[in-house]
Amino acid sequence: MPNETDVLIVGGGPVGLMLGCELRRRDIACRLIDKYAKYPSTSRANGVQPRAMEILDNLGVADQVSEHAYRSRGVRIMRYGSEAGRFALQKDDDKDAVDQPYFSVTFANQAVVEKALREKLTEFGGQVELQHELRSIQETPDGVVAEIVNVATGACEQVKAKYVVGCDGSHSTVRELLKLPFPGKDYPDVFAQMDAYLDGEMPEGLMTLWLSDGGLFGALPFREPGLWRLMAQVYPDADGNVPEASVELFERLLAERARDTTTKIIRTEWISNFVVHHRIVDHYRKGRAFLAGDAAHVHSPIGGQGMNTGIQDAFNLAWKLALVIQNKAPEALLDTYEAERRPVGLKVLEQTDVNHRLRVSGSPLSDILMDRIVFPLLRIPAILDVVADFVLKRGSQLDVAYRESSLSQDSGNLRKGPQPGDRGPDAHLVNAAGQSTTLFTRFRTPGFDLLLFQGKRHAADVPSLVALGERVNAATGGLVHPTTVIAEDEISGGEPSVFNDPKHHGHNAYGASGPRMYLVRPDGYIGWRGRVDGEAKLLDYLRTHYNIVK
């Protein structure tokens, strides 16, 4: 008889780990396998965008990631040995902008993120089974049967799971076994990459891009003093041979493209060549199997979106799988994973393709535009600030939304505030004990959150709002957690679900000039919004999509 589990996760990187944590957090049985013999220690991805940090914070591991992060002073753009522009990639926290806790990219490498997630998975009673490789999967009427081989011993076992999720990267075994096409293309560029300790006058904490006719060349600092990532676009010779990444190659490129003959490479930590792909599957789901992260979409690393997009894939899928497995939602809920996440994958591919072509193309027209228009404009501080803000917002992924999703429903003809499908903003609040807290702290429970805003004008009666929240909580078996946000100066009654919004930041963020209700999904996105007299409509929404109303 095969061993049984609810979900088989293939791939122990950040995507598989996030999925495993979110499932175990909801008491869903899962097995997470990875074919490698040990956990990777190389840096790979190096930036965690604000939205991904919010997700890590929701899980309770953001502090561990931040602890091992480093602060970049910004980006320096060089052209023919001269500085063409410089801008900050991190902003100081704006205390008035309380709708988001993270303002810019957190420079922590993938190994740091994976370690924090592995520790959290262990805390939830899970583990990564190393040296276990998927060999086959066969769908049955009530699940899948997978054949798994222990690479170390050669022992074979069959595992019966209700669902299987491929989080196993661009060369996904799950995708290949499902025979899902991976359409797209390879960029004509080849890159050489090296993590190494340097001795020279490289500005610590400052990323540098050298743009020249010879091709893109960049240097990214790490947390450890003297440790840098060097990445360069390389070209085949007359015989079609691509130069292999090496110390000699990078020292030559430092001299040719950076015009730096003094910096020396002391010791290498990682060195490789790679080709940039641009691909996405037509379907994220086939029967009881799903794809997430690089198994579903790969794109140019320029812009730092890969790991971050995969983490969001897993965060979107996990709560839906859990509700279906627990019989709290119909099977059709799982179709919304592809409906919501594939458009996001397509948009990321489009953005990273533009990033890649702008920074890598090297065409004569591109060089003319850079020299005559772009670089002169970058020397104007006001324009440089606008460019920096654009870069930060474009990469943050805070604007990811699911407004077209079947799970996004508007009720009440509200004109202001975030719409269903949008990310639910954060806000600073004060609890009944007078202690400061945030909405995102309330969102850390694995269920739904019902926000009941009293309203700044024509304020609703607080006991009535509390009673409304309690009725919805009872009707859903405790799966919807109510939070009443009041605009009054003082909290009365000591209700644990009532919070004061002393500066009206929460009311403003949610457009609650009058009484409002927002249902926030377990992944932090707004599923439903309406007026406080719309209790029946809210319960009907929950009944229709989730079957969680008693």
CATH classification at residue 319: 3.50.50.60
Residue 361 is predicted with a pLDDT of 47
* Residue where a domain stops, chosen among 233, 255, 277: 277
Return the number of other C-beta atoms located less than 10 Å from residue 88's C-beta.
16
Regarding whether 446 and 416 lie in a shared domain, the answer is: yes
How many Å apart are CA 100 and CA 97, to the nearest integer?
7
CA angle, 238 as apex, 232 and 244 as ends, to 5°?
A: 35
Task: Please report whether residue 400 resides in a domain.
Answer: no
Q: Are residues 498 and 518 in the same domain?
A: yes
Tell me what pLDDT residue 433 has: 86
Residue 86: per-residue pLDDT: 79
Helices then strands, each counted (H, E), the chain: 15, 24
The predicted pLDDT at position 481 comes to 97
Contact between residue 517 and residue 539 where contact means Cβ atoms under 8 Å apart: no
Q: Which domain does 420 fall in, by range?
A: 409-546
pLDDT tens, position by position, 153-205: 999 999 999 999 999 999 999 999 999 999 988 776 788 999 999 999 888 88
42 found inside a domain: yes
Q: Locate 257 and state its tokens.
A: 């493209």
Domain closes at, from 277, 294, 320: 277
pLDDT of 512-548, one tens digit each?
999 999 999 999 999 999 999 999 999 999 999 998 8
Q: Say whether both 233 and 316 belong to one domain.
A: no
> Quick one: which H or E segment has residue 468?
helix 462-475
Q: Which two tokens stand for residue 441?
A: 């702290």
Q: Which pLDDT score is estimated for 160? A: 97
Return the pLDDT at 450.
Answer: 98
Among residues 360, 382, 397, which one ends one of the domains?
360
245 lies in the same domain as 227? yes
pTM summary value? 0.92
Q: How many domains does the chain have?
A: 3
Same domain? For 326 and 205 the reply is no
Per the listing, tokens 């409304």 go with: 468
CA angle (499, 501, 502) in 5-degree steps:
125
Q: Is the same domain home to 356 and 262?
A: no
CATH classification at residue 225:
3.30.70.2450
Name the stretches of the chain with pLDDT < 70: 1, 43, 89-97, 188, 301-304, 352-394, 489-493
* Cα separation values, 19 from 23, 104, 118, 190, 304, Å: 6, 24, 11, 32, 20
H or E element at residue 395: helix 381-396
Same domain flag for 492 and 438: yes
Across all residues in the chain, what is the average pLDDT?
A: 89
Residues 294 and 417 in one domain: no
3-state secondary structure of 234: strand
Which residues touch 382 (CB under 8 Å, ≥6 apart)?
A: none
| Residues 413 and 514 grouped into a single domain | yes
Residue 444 CB neighbours (<10 A): 12
Tokens of 197: 């300790």
Q: Is 384 inside a domain boundary?
A: no
